[in-house]
Amino acid sequence: MNILDKIVLDKRKEVDLKKSIIPVSQLEASALFNRTTVSLADALRNSNSGIIAEHKRRSPSKSVINQNNSVTEVAVGYENAGACGMSVLTDGKYFGGSLDDLLLARASVQMPLLRKEFIIDEYQLLEAKAYGADVILLIAAILTRAEIKAFSEFAKQLHLDVLLEVHNEEELHKSIMPSLDMLGVNNRNLKSFEVSLDTSKNLSTLIPDDFVKVSESGISNIEAIRELKPYGYLGFLIGENFMKTDNPGESALNFIKSIK
């Protein structure tokens, strides 16, 4: 059983429990549920840097990344640095995040927020909307084509942007559909945890131009971005690189300055 299978198994239990505690009507009554969302896809199309900066405390591959900085500090730092958007990990067990992190980020900044989560149920999209997200992530590796279609179409009804993540050609082919805004290529091999930018390069030609292309994982220097831009990538998701420093916002600022 790989790590993704384990996470999904735990996630199903977690979502079932949450559904039994917090009814959909309560999520829909949230103050943020009817706020006008901001499109990350549009922000990336109009940006020079394309940086989506991530808030991540830990991960299964690197236990602790940063337990010290508050979400508010990090979010404000990223926005001031000129990031296009912010990815907020809301998984507790494996990444040390929570929906409260999303709420705190939303209270602090105007930029688009991505709920980075293992989505396996429409209920999680309602949560994302209720806690102030603008974008949701769907991971092709854990979903069927029918689920991707159902979740992405439901997200569009909620005025949420959809970033779909793939790891290989097979996942890409099963996923392409009009209800997606962005296609993210994860450069990390889930079985070996090895990272290679070749994944993004090889898949770039298979992604139709109507989708914003995003490269994820293993982007730790400006060279990586310079290498990927000719392949049509407009978005670059960077987490660990900023979070492993004492001041993620300042790291993001220096990084973004050197791209321009």
Instruction: Tell me, yes or no, if 216 is annotated catalytic.
Output: yes
The DSSP line for 162-186 is EEEEESSHHHHHHH--TT-SEEEEE
Instruction: Tell me, yes or no, if 56 is annotated catalytic.
Output: yes
46 burial type by CB count under 10 A (0-12 exposed, 13-18 middle, 19+ buried): exposed
Instruction: Tell me, yes or no, if 13 is annotated catalytic.
Output: no
78 burial type by CB count under 10 A (0-12 exposed, 13-18 middle, 19+ buried): buried
Helix axes 122-130, 3-21, angle to 10 degrees: 70
Q: Which of 186, 187, 200, 215 is catalytic?
A: 186
Q: Which of 39, 47, 49, 56 is catalytic?
A: 56
Instruction: Tell me, yes or no, if 229 is annotated catalytic.
Output: no
Q: Which of 54, 117, 127, 240 is catalytic?
A: 54
Instruction: Tell me, yes or no, if 194 is annotated catalytic.
Output: no
Q: Which of 187, 217, 241, 251 is catalytic?
A: 217
- To 5 degrees, how large is the angle CA 198–CA 215–CA 178? 115
Q: Which of 79, 127, 165, 240 is catalytic?
A: 165
Instruction: Give the CA distances from residue 23 to residues 26, 105, 151, 154, in Å, rounded to whole numbers and listed in that order.
Output: 5, 24, 19, 18
Which of 106, 138, 102 has its CA nearest to residue 38?
106
92 burial type by CB count under 10 A (0-12 exposed, 13-18 middle, 19+ buried): middle
Instruction: Tell me, yes or no, if 165 is annotated catalytic.
Output: yes
Q: Are 211 and 193 in contact (CB under 8 A)?
A: no
Q: How does DSSP classify residue 195?
A: B
Instruction: Tell me, yes or no, if 147 is annotated catalytic.
Output: no
Q: Which of 216, 240, 241, 251 is catalytic?
A: 216
Q: Kindly list the catalytic residues.
A: 54, 56, 116, 165, 186, 216-217
